[in-house]
Amino acid sequence: MNMSEKCKQHVDSCRFCWMCHHICPIGNATGHERSTARARALGISLVNRGAIELDEIMDNIYECCTCGACVHDCTTGWDPVMFTKEVRLQAALEGKLPDYINKLVDNCIEYGNAYGKTELCDDLTAAIKAHADKTDLLLYLGVDARYMVCKQAVKAIKVLEKAGVSFTVLQNEPASGAQLDFLIGAANETKEQMAANAKILDGYKTVIVYDPNDAKAIRRTYKEYGVETSANVITYTAYLAKLIDDDKLKAQNGGKTVVFQDPYQLSRDLEETEEARKVISAFAELHEMLLNRGETVWAGNILMAEYLPDVIAEVSARRLFNVTSIGESAIVTASVSEYAALKNVKQDKVEVLSIEDLILG
Amino acid sequence: MQYQMNEFLFAMILTELEDAVGKENCSTRAIDKVTHSVDYYWLSRMWADRGCRMPEADFVVCPKDATEVSKVVKIANYYKIPVTTWGAGGGTQGGAIPVAGGIILDTKRMNKIYEVNTEGMYIECGTGAIYKHIEWAANEVGKATMHYPSSLTCSTVGGFLAHRGIGVCSTKYGKIDDMVLQMEVVLPNGDIIYTSPAPKHAAGPDLNQIFIGSEGTLGIITKAQIRIFDQPEERRFRGFLFQDMTGAFKASRELLQKFKPSVMRLYDEAETASLIKKIVGVERKGAFMNIAYEGAREMVEVEEKILLDTFKKYGAEDLGSEYGEKWWKEKITFFYPGHMMDIPQMFGTMDTIAPYDKIEKIYWAMKKAIETNFPQAKFIAHFSHWYEWGAMVYDRFIIEGKDVPEDPVEALRLHQAVWTCGVRAALANGGVVNDHHGVGIKLGRLMKEQYGPAMQVFEALKKSLDPNGIMNPFKLGL
C-alpha cells in the first residue's frame, strides 16, 4: 500500500500502544478489540509488511468515526485519524473500497449527499423559500439537516427568524465536502466539492454553519486542503450566543435541567465549547456530564448508521447512559446528526432536545 | 487435549458459537484474528514487526455475560478446543495470546456497570469493563477506585484480576486482590459460580484468591464487585533524593511502621538519570524517591511531619512538592510511544518482590546477572510497591535495536535467555517469578523452579476443574 512516511511513523507508533484503548466510542459500544486505534494501526502495519491484504482490513478502516478522541487523548501526539483517512484514500485510489462505501461515495458525487436524496420535505422547502432573497448572511444547513432531519432544519430557520435576523438559505445548497472527506479523505473529488462550495460561500459576507460537521470542514479541513473562502464562517451556536449578547435573542429559562452533548467537531476541532453553553444556560439550567468539552464522547451520527446501524444505536445508547448515571434526564445537542442518532434510541428515560427545541419551547 | 480441525468441523463449530453469542459477535475475519494475536508481550510485538503472523485463534467470540460464556466453554469442552480469554490485550506476559489456536474469548462486551453502591462502597461490573470506565463511574458519584496503574486505560477489570495487577497507590489502598469483594466465575465445565459475599471470612479458603491470578487457566471471571473509596480531602507529594538506595530502604521501612503513604516510588541511580530526568526534570545524581500521602487533612498534616522527620534521619534531601506533583501528572506519560521503550529495542520488566532483608540483595544480584551475561543490556529499576515487611523491584533490561537480532527466532532466543537469567537470579536470592504482571507464556517454565513440589497444588486444581486442559493452555506453567 502506498502510504506517506509520516503516516507510517504514526502507524508504527500506535500499533503497540494501548493507552487510548478506553476512549473509542465505537470500541466501547461493540466491545470488539478491532475497534481500537492500536488494532487499526496493527492491521495497517501488517498490510505494509505484506502479512495481510488491504482488503482484509477495509471494513475495520470504516468502523472508525474519526471523532478524534484517541488523538485528543494521546500525550505524544500520534494521530490515528490521520492514518485511517489516508488508508481510505489509498483504498479509493486502488479501487478497494467496500461496496457499501462505494455506494455512499457515488451518491456524494452524483447527488451531493451520501444518502442519494434529491427532494427536500415540504416544510423545509417552504421555509427556505421564505429566505430565498440574497442577503449578506447565509445560513448553511448541510446535507444531514436538509435531507435527513428536515424538521430540525426548519427549526434552525425559525430560531433566526425569532431573533429578527435577515438571512438567506439556498434552495440548491452545494455539499460542503465533509461527507466525501469522511469517506475517501483528501481525494480530488473531495477537494473539488469543497472548492465549489467555497466559491458559493464567497458570495456572502458571513456564513452561519448549522451542522458542526460542515463547520469543521469549512473552517479547518478546507485550509488543510488549500481551499479558501473569503466569507466569515461562524458556527450556528456561536451565532446564537452573539444574538444573546446583542439582546436579539431573549433569554427565557423554561425550568428544565439539561446536560449538553458537546459535538467533537466544535469542542475538539474548533475548540469552541462555551458558546453553546451560553445559549443553553439562557433557556435552561445546565449541568455537566463527567466527560464534557474536549473530553466529549461522540454520540453517533446519520452517515455511519447507513452501514453500521446497530453499532451506532449502541454508541448513542451508551451516551444516554452517561446522562442517567449522573441522575439527569434531558440532553441537549448542537449537532443535528447526533440529535438524530440519540433520538433513534428506543428509550424513555432521557429527553433528547436540540438547542432549537430548547429555544422554541 | 485433542484438537483437530477440518473444514467441516470448523463450519459446524462456527454455527454453534454463533448460536451462543450471536453472529455479529463471533468472527473468523483476519482483522479479528491478528488483532487478538498480538498483545503487549514483547515477543508478539517483535514477531509482528518482522512481518510474521503470531499464532491465531480459529474463532473470536465476544459473549455478553456469564450465560453466554458458559455456552462457549461447553462447546469448547465438547470439541476439546482451547479457550484463551482476552481482556484488552494490555498484558506483557503473553497470557492472552492463543498460542494453541481454538477460541479467543474477548470479555469486553461484558462491560456493563450493574451497580454503583455508595453504601457498600463497591461497583458491580462485568469484568470486560476497562478499569478507567469504572473509575469514571466512581467519579460521577464523588468516589474513586484508587487503582491507578499505568495500564488503567488499557486493561479490563478481568485483566487486572487475572494477572494480579497493582496500581501506584497500592501502599495505602492495596493490590487488585485487596480491591475485590464478590466475583462471578464460569468454570471450565460451564457452571456459573459465585465466591463468598464478602472476602474476609472463615468459611474455608478464599475462593477469590484461587481465581485471582489464575490467568484464565481455571475459569473465566465474568463479574466482580470492585471497591471504591472516598476521594481524599487532600493529597500531597514530596520528592526526596537519597545518596543511595540503602538509606532509602531503611527510611521507608521505618516510615511504614508509622503510617501508609499512598504512593512510594524509589528510582535507582540509572533510572533517576534517565526516565526521571526526562519526564520529571530531576537532574541530580542519586536515587529519587516520590512519596504521596493523602486522606483527611488533619491526618495528612501529621503524616507529613512524620515523613520529613523520618527521611531526614536517613540523609534524604527534601526536594519539595514540585517533582512529586509533576510525577503524578505525568505518571502515565512514561508509557506513551516516544517516551517508552519500543521496538526495535528489546526490553522487559522482571518485577519481583521480597522482604526488606532480601530485596536490595535481589536488585544487585539481578543487575549483576544481566549486565555480566548480557553486556549489551542496560539495567534500570525502581521500587514502586511497598509494605510494612518488604517491597517490590520493577527492574527492566533494555537492549538497543542495533544489538537485537533481525531474525525473529534469534531475537526470541535472546529474549528468553535474558529473562531466564534475570528471574533465576531473583529466585536464587529469595524473590518470586513475578510481582504484578503475571506469568503467561513468558514465565511459565519458571513456575516449577519457584514452587517445586508446591506446584502440584495448582496442577491438581487445574486437573480437577479443567480435565480436558482447554483453558488457556501453556500459560502459568499449567
| SS3 of residue A122 by DSSP | helix
Question: How close B137 gets to chain A, by Cα (Å)?
Answer: 8
**Residue where the block lists cell 482476552:** B86
pLDDT for the residue numbered B340: 85
For residue B389, the model assigns a pLDDT of 98
Nearest chain A Cα distance for residue B136, angstroms: 8
The CATH number assigned to the domain with range A250-360 reads 3.40.50
Cβ-nearest to B35 among A42, A75, A291: A42
Q: Which of A21, A32, A53 minimises the CB distance to B154?
A: A21
Contact in structure between A45 and A12 (CB atoms under 8 Å): yes
Task: Please name the member of A21, A34, A76 whose beta carbon is closest to the beta carbon of B153.
Answer: A21
Question: Per residue in B201-215, pLDDT tens?
Answer: 999 999 999 999 999
Q: Does residue B338 have a pLDDT over 90?
A: no
pLDDT at residue B275 in the model: 81
Predicted pLDDT at B62: 98
CB proximity A325 to B under 8 Å = yes
Residue labelled with grid coordinates 514540585: B322
Taking the Cβ of residue A49 and every Cβ of chain B, the question of whether any pair is shorter than 8 Å is answered with yes
Residue B354: exposure state from Cβ atoms within 10 A (0-12, 13-18, ≥19): buried
Query: Does the pLDDT at position B330 exceed 90?
Result: no
Q: What is the pLDDT of residue B282?
A: 85
**Residue-wise pLDDT tens digits, B344-388:** 999 999 999 999 999 999 999 999 999 999 999 999 999 999 999
Average pLDDT of span B279-284: 86
**pLDDT at position B331:** 86
* Separation in Å, CA of A103 to nearest CA in chain B: 23
A19 touching B (Cβ < 8 Å):
yes
User: Which of A28, A51, A78 is the closest to B337 by Cβ?
Assistant: A78
Cross-chain Cβ contact B34/A52 below 8 Å: yes
Is B31–A34 a contact, with Cβ atoms under 8 angstroms apart? yes
Q: CB distance from A310 to chain B under 8 Å?
A: yes
Model-wide pTM > 0.80 = yes
Q: Beta-strand (E) ranges in A309-354?
A: 330-333, 351-354
Identify the helix (H) or strand (E) that includes residue B194: strand B192-194
- The partner residue sitting opposite B108, judged by closest CB among A17, A31, A291, is A31
Please state, rounded to an integer, the average pLDDT across all residues of chain A: 97
Name every chain B residue with its beta carbon within 8 A of the beta carbon of A291.
136
* DSSP one-letter string for A220-277: IIHHHTT----SEEEEHHHHHHHHHHTTSS-----S-EEEEE--HIIIIIS---HHHH
Quickly list DSSP for B375-390: TTEEEEEEE--B-SSE
Q: Which amino acid is at B475?
A: K
pLDDT at position A1 over 90 = no
Give the nearest chain B residue to A61 (CA atoms): B31
More confidently predicted of B284 and A45: A45
- Asked if pLDDT for residue B460 goes beyond 90, the answer is yes
**Tens of pLDDT along B104-129?**
999 999 999 999 999 999 999 999 99
Q: What is the pLDDT of residue B3?
A: 60
Reported as a single tens digit per residue, the pLDDT across B76-105 is: 999 999 999 999 999 999 999 999 999 999
Question: Does residue A239 carry a pLDDT above 80?
Answer: yes
Task: Say whether pLDDT at A138 is over 50.
Answer: yes
Say if residue B37's pLDDT is above 70.
Answer: yes
**B393 Cα to chain A: minimum distance (Å):** 23
For residue A220, give how far its alpha carbon lies from the nearest alpha carbon of chain B (Å): 27
Contact B335 A39 (CB under 8 A): no
Query: How many Å lie between the alpha carbon of A21 and the closest alpha carbon of chain B?
Result: 5
Instruction: Tell me if B106 and A291 make a contact (CB, 8 A cut-off).
Output: no
B154: chain A residues, CB-CB within 8 Å: 18-22
For A22, which of B132, B336, B342 is closest by C-beta distance? B132
Nearest CA in chain B to A289: B140
**Dihedral sign (CA A167, A173, A177, A183):** positive
**Residues shown for chain A:** 361
Residues in B closer than 8 angstroms to A52, CB to CB, are: 30-31, 34, 53
Contact A294, A241 (CB under 8 A): no
| Contact criterion met (CB below 8 Å) for B396 and B349 | yes
Which carries the bigger pLDDT value, residue B85 or residue B274? B85
How many cross-chain Cβ pairs, A to B, lie less than 8 Å apart? Answer: 130
Minimal Cα distance from A15: which residue of B?
B45
Contact list, A59 vs chain B (CB under 8 Å): 29, 31
A74 close contact with B: CB closer than 8 A? yes
Q: Do A325 and B116 touch (CB under 8 A)?
A: yes
> CA nearest B163: which of B436, B451, B461, B444?
B436
Residue A30, chain B, CB below 8 Å: the answer is: yes
pLDDT, position A356: 98
Torsion angle defined by CA atoms of residues B214, B216, B219 and B221, in that order, rounded to the nearest 10 degrees? 90
Do residues A253 and A285 make contact, with C-beta atoms less than 8 angstroms apart?
A: yes
Does residue B251 carry a pLDDT above 60?
yes
* Beta-carbon separation of B34 and A51 below 8 A: yes
The helix/strand/coil state of B460 is: helix
B134: which chain A residues are within 8 Å (Cβ-Cβ)?
A: none
* Chain centroid offset of residue B159 CA: 8
Put simply, the answer to whether B336 touches A75 (Cβ < 8 Å) is yes
State the CB neighbour count (10 A cutoff) for residue A149.
Answer: 24
Among B30, B35, B336, select the one facing A76 at the smallest CB separation.
B336
Q: Do A28 and B30 touch (CB under 8 A)?
A: no
Q: Do A21 and B130 touch (CB under 8 A)?
A: yes
A32 touches chain B (CB under 8 A): yes
What percent of chain B shows pLDDT beyond 90?
93
Q: Give the pLDDT mean for B310-317.
A: 97
Assigned CATH for A122-242: 3.40.50
CA–CA min distance A301, chain B (Å) = 21
Over residues A285-334, the pLDDT tens digits come to 999 999 999 999 999 999 999 999 999 999 999 999 999 999 999 999 99
Q: Look at residue B184 and tell me whether its pLDDT is greater than 90.
A: yes
- State the nearest Cα–Cα gap between B365 and chain A, in angstroms: 31
**Mean per-residue pLDDT, B429-438:** 98
Over residues A206-229, the pLDDT tens digits come to: 999 999 999 999 999 999 999 999
pLDDT at B4 over 70: no
The Cα–Cα gap between B422 and B191 comes to 40
Domains of chain B: 7-108 (3.30.43.10), 113-230 (3.30.465.10), 234-335 (3.30.70.3450), 346-442 (3.30.300.330)
Give pLDDT, residue B1. 47
Q: Which residues of B touch A23 (CB under 8 A)?
A: 153
Q: Which residues, in sequence order, are CB contacts of B198 under 8 Å at separation 6+? A: B181, B182
CB B240 within 8 A of CB B318: yes
- Option in A16, A43, A49 nearest B45 (CB): A16
Q: Are B426 and B362 in contact (CB under 8 A)?
A: yes
Radius of gyration, CA atoms only, chain A: 20
Q: B98 CA to chain A: closest CA distance, Å? A: 15
Cβ <8 Å between A34 and B35: yes
Domain with CATH 3.40.50 in chain A: 122-242, 250-360
Q: Which residues in A lie closer than 8 A to residue B339 (C-beta atoms)?
A: 75-76
Q: Is the pLDDT of residue B2 over 60?
A: no
Q: Does A190 touch chain B (CB under 8 A)?
A: no
| Residue B298: count of CB within 10 angstroms of its CB | 10
Task: List the beta strands (DSSP E) in B74-121.
Answer: 83-86, 103-106, 113-117
Which are the contacts of B292, defined by CB distance < 8 A and separation ≥ 6?
Answer: B169, B235, B236, B237, B238, B261, B262, B263, B264, B324, B328
Give Cα separations from B3 to A127, B10, B53 (angstroms): 68, 11, 21
A326 touches chain B (CB under 8 A): yes
Non-local CB neighbours of B303 within 8 Å, separated by 6+ positions: B259, B261, B293, B295
Cβ separation B336–A19 shorter than 8 A = yes
Q: Give the tens place of pLDDT for each residue, A322-353.
A: 999 999 999 999 999 999 999 999 999 999 99
CB contact under 8 A, A75 and B337: no
Whether A23 and B153 lie within 8 Å, measured CB to CB: yes
Nearest CA-CA distance, residue B245 and chain A, Å = 31
